[in-house]
Amino acid sequence: MVCCPRLGRRVSVVTTMVIALGGAWSHVSAQTVTDPRYVEFTASADHFALTSGSQPMVSGYQMGWYLSGATAPVSVTDLGKPDPDGTGTIRLDLYSLLSATPTPGITYTARVAALGPLGSSSSSDSNPFVFGGPCTYTVSPTIASVVSAGSTLTDSVTVGSACAWSATSLASWISLNVAGGTGSGAVNLAVAANPNASARSGTVIVANNDVTISQAPALCTYAASPLSTSFGSPGGSAAEQVSAPTPCGWTASASASWVALAATSGSGSQALSYTVAPNTTSFSRTATLNIAGNSVTITQAPGCTYALSLASDSFMYKAATHTTSLTTGAGCSWTAVSSNATWLKVSVASGSGAASVSYSVTNNNAAARTATITVGGRALSVTQASRR
């Protein structure tokens, strides 16, 4: 095939094979490359030119594979017509162009040819390259055990420099720092703390190898919150939040009968409600809840109620003494006073707890009269008749 003068120029190859190391291009010249990843060449000077018939001078590129010293290719790979970069260089991922890995252990060179309607032009030989065979992966370790508090493990991947691999966690409590790589590398596995009182096992797939992670169960530790609560004299209800790994069991008890627990046992984390009865005494009181080994203090303010056996009383005109009974809780203090009436007096000014309270009147030589005494906040109306 006769080629037009312009297309007759040879296509120069700057670096036919390039391997990416750490994201940088590593150019080679004469040395043999094992498991090459990239092909790089200089585009034809006529890459964008047109024939007199307005056809592209270059319709595409082909790469021929040659055995050492051979003049005819053993294989040809179609490279298409990718656009060159700003330096006129075309770089392609070699593995994306191959349908199968070439025979391992054979040393090749390559030539890139520019093809067009008027002919073709070929580069000089590339540097030698050889393939190591199918990718085989070694992952270590494939079995590991961690403590309940969690830990970080490292899995090493050993493979050829051009072999890609991936890493996936099948357990939500195991996270990976990378999703894969190319060539030998490592994956860090972060194992979260085990919140349960039972052992668990998870799987991570690294480079097609199952990595099994076993984790010890969490120790049964318990906490209760809050550790103290105060109530007024009317009492009421509240709840303790118990925190424990599932399924750690626990018990609960109260030191006083005036505190009633909704349950005396449970497991794991949950709320435990309780009720405090009204305090009818004049003393504050304290009870202790023992919940999963935690001591919870309950305090309650004092509360006293008072009642008199009489709401009213009457006397004849003569001097006399009567008694009324005051009912209240033990320790409940009280006072007894009379209204501003000199003819009516109370026997005691104050006291504590239930009592009999005496009150007396003097002779009444005038008109009928009424006054009031107050005991423990309760009023007693006293009337005395006239002598007339």
pLDDT, tens digit, for every residue of 223-256? 999 999 999 888 999 999 999 988 889 999 999 9
Q: What is the pLDDT of residue 88?
A: 86
Least confident of 2-6, 78-82, 154-158, 296-300: 2-6
Q: What is the pLDDT of residue 229?
A: 97
User: Residue range 269-298: average pLDDT?
Assistant: 93
- CATH class name, domain 17-130: mainly beta
- The fold of 306-384 is Immunoglobulin-like (2.60.40)
Identical fold between 17-130 and 306-384: yes
CATH code for the domain defined by 138-215? 2.60.40.10
Q: What is the pLDDT of residue 179?
A: 93
SS3 per-residue string spanning the chain: CCCCCCCCCCCCCCCCEEEEECCEEEECCCCCEECCCEEEEECCCCCCCECCCCCECCCEEEEEEEECCCCCCCEEEEEECCCCCCCCEEEEEHHHHCCCCCCCCCCEEEEEEEEECCEEEECCCCCCEECCCCCCCEEECCEEEECCCCEEEEEEEECCCCCEEEEEECCCCEEECCCEEECCEEEEEEECCCCECCCEEEEEEECCEEEEEEECCCCCCCEEECCEEEECCCCEEEEEEEECCECCEEEEEECCCCEEECCCEEECCEEEEEEECCCCCCCCEEEEEEECCEEEEEEECCCCCEEECCCEEEECCCCEEEEEEEEECCCCEEEEEECCCCCEEECCCEEECCEEEEEEECCCCCCCEEEEEEECCEEEEEEECCCC
Top-confidence residue, 195 or 263: 263
pLDDT, tens digit, for every residue of 286-305? 999 999 999 999 999 888 88
Where do the structural domains in the chain lie, given as residue ranges? Answer: 17-130, 138-215, 223-300, 306-384
Q: What is the pLDDT of residue 362?
A: 96
- The fold of 223-300 is Immunoglobulin-like (2.60.40)
Would the pTM of this model clear 0.85, i.e. be above it?
no
